[in-house]
Amino acid sequence: MCPRQGRDPGEGITTPVSKLTLESGTVVIRRAVAADVPRLHVLISGFADRDRMLHRSLNELYENLRDFRVADRDGEVVGCCALHVFWADLAEVKSLAVAEGRQGGGIGRRLVEACVADAAALGIPRVFCLTYEADFFRRCGFHVVDRCRFPRKVWSECVRCPKFFDCTEIAMTREVAVAGAGPAAEEAVAAG
Ligand SMILES: CC(C)(COP(=O)(O)OP(=O)(O)OC[C@H]1O[C@@H](n2cnc3c(N)ncnc32)[C@H](O)[C@@H]1OP(=O)(O)O)[C@@H](O)C(=O)NCCC(=O)NCCS
């Protein structure tokens, strides 16, 4: 067996990493591909127009395509979530959305878990989010923190946000178990 098998970096681009069987069908969590972007834009814009989350332009979505996981229900994208790396020890879980009519079935949680698994595979020990949905993220293992804990985030991205001076998002964080990740583990795998 290939030593990398099951560790994600070697997976095919549309290989599902998590499968969820609902009454209404099977949902797989997979990496996003370029063809998903128009649908992601519609999904996110629908909530952003109602101030439920921040807008993402098409350009931003294409530029950050590799950050994204999608929930695919029989070929239809019904959810998305991204992991954006900030520093050696910190990444943001962002742009989480589940289509209305598909909510409440565990898809949001699966998307978050897929992003947390990405952070673990990258050797990043902490993820955070800025959210209006604190209760949902609490159920996903996050806890509230002072946003001043994340100065790089505030000064790099937030200053460009139109809501910077009137922001009501809640900062939350979750520790990530990264045992076995990192360069030492990679060398050990390579050495067999
Ligand atoms: C927030 C959102 C992603 C949740 O997705 P979902 O698929 O409905 O969530 P899940 O079914 O995986 O829920 C997981 C758990 O959180 C709970 N939960 C879900 N949404 C919740 C909410 N708004 N408030 C409190 N708890 C919530 C569920 O009851 C479930 O609880 P359990 O631990 O008892 O099983 C979805 O409602 C959504 O897309 N909202 C609009 C966009 C948005 O607000 N995005 C977040 C931007 S940061």
DSSP secondary structure, 117-169, as one string: HHHHHTT--EEEEEES-HHHHHHTT-EE--GGG-HHHHHHTGGGSTTGGG--P
Residue 36 CB partners (closer than 8 Å, separation 6+): 68, 70, 77, 80
Q: Which atom of ligand 1 is nearest to the CA of 98?
A: 39
pLDDT for res 5: 37
pLDDT for res 163: 80
pLDDT tens string 54-90: 899 999 999 999 999 999 999 999 999 999 998 999 9
pLDDT for res 182: 52
What is the CATH number that goes with domain 18-191?
3.40.630.30
- Provide residues with CB under 6 Å of ligand 1: 47, 52-53, 96-98, 103-109, 129, 131, 133, 135-136, 139
- Measured by CA distance, the residue closest to atom 10 of ligand 1 is 106
**Residue 185 one-letter amino acid:** A
Q: Which atom of ligand 1 is nearest to the CA of 169?
A: 48
Mutate to test the pocket of ligand 1, among 24, 81, 128, 139 (most ligand atoms within 8 A of CB): 139
CA 93 – CA 104 distance, rounded (Å): 19
pLDDT for res 161: 79
Q: What is the pTM of this model?
A: 0.86
- Measured by CA distance, the residue closest to atom 20 of ligand 1 is 136
Query: Are 181 and 123 contacting, i.e. CB atoms less than 8 angstroms apart?
Result: yes
| Structural element, H or E, at residue 112 | helix 107-121
CA 143 – CA 134 distance, rounded (Å): 8
pLDDT for res 187: 42
Q: Domain ranges in the chain?
A: 18-191
Counting as low any pLDDT under 70, the low residues of the chain are 1-17, 22-24, 153, 180-192
User: What's the number of CA atoms in the CB half-sphere (13 Å) around residue 40?
Assistant: 30
pLDDT for res 91: 95
pLDDT for res 24: 59
